[in-house]
């Protein structure tokens, strides 16, 4: 059994909707990097789960990119998240450092990542014990949880960060202006995800009690 970590880029479209929710145009295509961990058992390859996002995270902006890199200095539980926004030409727009309280990753997280995947053992022609052993060898849990769950770049140059906090009905988003100035926090229902923003307008997808998606237009004051 062996494991290997690799970065696999993937592309996805950013769509423009009209007021009635119909797709008007594709604004642009963005590229994101996905950290993948492969393992090999009984001569077959598989992908192991990763507790992500994995630092650094790159978000495509309209005129360049924003790179978020975080770490926790040894012997402390205060993390540092460095945000660097650069233009396509290479010149920097701003650099910002945010501090956060680092949350340790309990060992139980490893079991929660492995157990749901044991059901495919028979499909791979191995026993659950063999697959579990391969996954435990491949998965590398970080000491602390990632400080963010979602990064959304606005087309106006703003940056929205959703902290990785315990599940709740309401989620807070940290809003950073196009010049790197923290604008404050915005509270949204946890089930709502931002898909398009150009302050003061934000378009988000909200799920109702039947998990039916609705496109919602918001205004940030």
pLDDT band at 28 (very low <50, low <70, confident <90, very high): low
Instruction: Please name the helix (run of DSSP H) or strand (run of DSSP E) that holds residue 97, with its range, or none.
Output: strand 92-101
Query: At 11, is the pLDDT very low, low, confident or very high (cuts 50, 70, 90)?
Result: low
E strands, 142-190, where?
148-153, 159-163, 170-176, 182-189
Q: Is the pLDDT of residue 172 over 70?
A: yes
**Other CB atoms closer than 10 Å to residue 52's CB: what's the count?**
13
Query: How confident is the prediction for the chain on average, in pLDDT?
Result: 87
Prediction pTM value: 0.76
Residue that the structure tokens 């390859």 belong to: 45
In 3D space, the residue among 164, 144, 71 whose CA is nearest the CA of residue 104 turns out to be: 144
- Which is higher by pLDDT, 2 or 188? 188
Q: Tell how strand 23-41 and strand 44-48 pair up.
A: antiparallel
């Amino acid at each position: 059994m062996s494991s290997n970590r690799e970065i696999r880029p993937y592309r996805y479209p950013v769509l423009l909707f009209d007021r009635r929710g119909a797709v008007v145009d594709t604004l642009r295509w963005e590229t994101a990097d996905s950290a993948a961990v492969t393992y090999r058992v009984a001569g077959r390859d598989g992908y192991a789960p990763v507790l992500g996002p994995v630092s650094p995270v790159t978000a495509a902006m309209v005129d360049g990119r924003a790179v978020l890199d975080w770490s926790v200095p040894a012997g402390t539980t205060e993390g540092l998240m460095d945000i660097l926004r650069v233009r396509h030409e290479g010149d920097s727009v701003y650099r910002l450092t945010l501090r956060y309280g680092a949350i340790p990753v309990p060992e139980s997280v490893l079991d929660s990542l492995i157990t749901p995947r044991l059901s495919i053992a028979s499909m791979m022609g191995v026993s659950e014990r063999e697959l579990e052993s391969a996954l435990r060898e491949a998965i590398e849990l970080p000491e602390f949880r990632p400080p963010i769950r979602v990064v959304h770049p606005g087309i106006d140059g703003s940056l929205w960060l959703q902290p990785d906090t315990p599940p709740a009905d309401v989620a807070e988003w940290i809003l950073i202006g196009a010049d790197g100035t923290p604008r404050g926090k915005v509270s949204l229902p946890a089930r709502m995800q931002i898909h398009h923003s150009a302050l003061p307008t934000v378009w988000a997808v909200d799920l109702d009690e039947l998990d039916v998606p609705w496109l919602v237009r918001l205004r940030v004051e």
